[in-house]
Amino acid sequence: MRARFLDVDGVRTRLLYGGAGPALFLLHGVGVSGDTFIRNIDPLGRRYTVYAPDMLGHGFTDAVAFKGGPPQVATVRHLGRLADQLGIENYSVGGSSYGGLIAALMWFDRPDRVRNLILIGSGATFHPAAEQEQTLRNAAANASQALADPSIESCRKRLGAICFDPRAVAEEILPVQLTSYALPDRFDAYKETIAGLIATCASTEHRVYSRLEQLRARTLILTGREDIRANWALHVAGRRRMPNARLLTFEQCGHLPYMEHPEAFNTAVDGFLAGDEVGE
């Protein structure tokens, strides 16, 4: 795995990447960064070129002013321009939680370029409006404790709260997360992103919940049975509405299957991208 910084239309953007082969973008959840895929980039890099960017206002990528608009619009545009700058014509996109929504919106934005989708524990994609608004408020209450007073312990506690077993937290990323949280604009950027997401919970344009029947991309849905941020049963219901989706459930797993069960996660994603029928 390597890291680089790119200027994407004037926005300093940090990118973690590694491997060789067809392109796969991995998109993190709200309030974290590409580092959450630390256990996946190199293993998946055996057959794919894996890119894990920090999205706008996250990690070490610059924040932008959403000016009261939905963060999804600017984020999808930014990631599309990142792909253009990297010279990648076609790619698969996997997204966790908020990143799952962004991944799905990227397909709607560029259906001819996104080959496959991997949607990971994404209430932002599969929750109806009222449930998603409450999920976001709960997430903000948990994350704000770490962002308002960052320490190794508060970062550990924040991630541990959404794992089935808190011991699954990737200790190796905590100093990096702490450093990003210490940036003077990170908490404000987080609050603006959350506010924009809450404001668009009922949107048909800026969410995909009402459009799942139109999401024709070959899709793998990955969910943890004990995920407190993304209701497992609603993922099952959403999969039934989608024309080309399969679902795989991880047992004894919370919101971060790629961190909690990395070997099983990497095997599932590798097989899916290779064309195997994964899940049911």
Beta strands in the chain (DSSP E): 2-8, 11-19, 23-27, 49-53, 91-96, 114-120, 218-224, 245-250
**Gap between the Cα atoms of 69 and 67, Å rounded:** 5
Q: Mean of the pLDDT values across residues 217-237?
A: 98
Q: Mean of the pLDDT values across residues 225-249?
A: 98
29: pLDDT strictly greater than 80: yes
Q: Mean of the pLDDT values across residues 73-100?
A: 98
Q: pLDDT confidence of 3, banded at 50, 70, 90?
A: very high
Find out whether 259 and 39 touch, Cβ atoms under 8 Å. Answer: yes
Q: Mean of the pLDDT values across residues 142-152?
A: 94
241: pLDDT strictly greater than 90: yes
Beta strands in 107-155 (DSSP E): 114-120
Q: Mean of the pLDDT values across residues 43-64?
A: 98
Q: Mean of the pLDDT values across residues 186-190?
A: 96
What is the pLDDT, as a whole number, of residue 231? 97
Q: Which residue is it, tokens 């990143």?
A: 99
Please report, for the chain, the start and end positions of each structural domain, with discontinuous segments joined by +: 2-273
What is the pLDDT, as a whole number, of residue 68? 75
Q: pLDDT confidence of 158, banded at 50, 70, 90?
A: very high
Q: Mean of the pLDDT values across residues 43-47?
A: 98
Find out whether 118 and 103 touch, Cβ atoms under 8 Å. Answer: yes
- The DSSP bridge pattern shows strands 245-250 and 218-224 to be parallel
pTM of the model: 0.98
160: pLDDT strictly greater than 90: yes
169 CB contacts (<8 Å, ≥6 apart)? 156, 159, 160, 163, 259
pLDDT tens, residue by residue, 195-209: 999 999 999 999 999
119 CB contacts (<8 Å, ≥6 apart)? 94, 95, 100, 103, 104, 125, 126, 219, 220, 221, 222
**Gap between the Cα atoms of 184 and 132, Å rounded:** 28
Q: pLDDT confidence of 219, banded at 50, 70, 90?
A: very high
Summary mean pLDDT of the chain: 97
Q: Mean of the pLDDT values across residues 138-162?
A: 95
What is the pLDDT, as a whole number, of residue 166? 97
Percentage of residues of the chain with pLDDT beyond 90: 99
CATH code given to domain 2-273? 3.40.50.1820
Find out whether 235 and 247 touch, Cβ atoms under 8 Å. Answer: yes
Q: pLDDT confidence of 67, banded at 50, 70, 90?
A: confident
What is the pLDDT, as a whole number, of residue 108? 98
142 CB contacts (<8 Å, ≥6 apart)? 158, 161, 162
**Gap between the Cα atoms of 143 and 156, Å rounded:** 11
Q: pLDDT confidence of 244, banded at 50, 70, 90?
A: very high
| Radius of gyration in angstroms for the set of CA atoms belonging to the chain, rounded to a whole number | 17
56: pLDDT strictly greater than 80: yes
| Burial of 68 (C-beta count, 10 Å sphere; 0-12/13-18/19+) | exposed
Q: Mean of the pLDDT values across residues 226-239?
A: 98
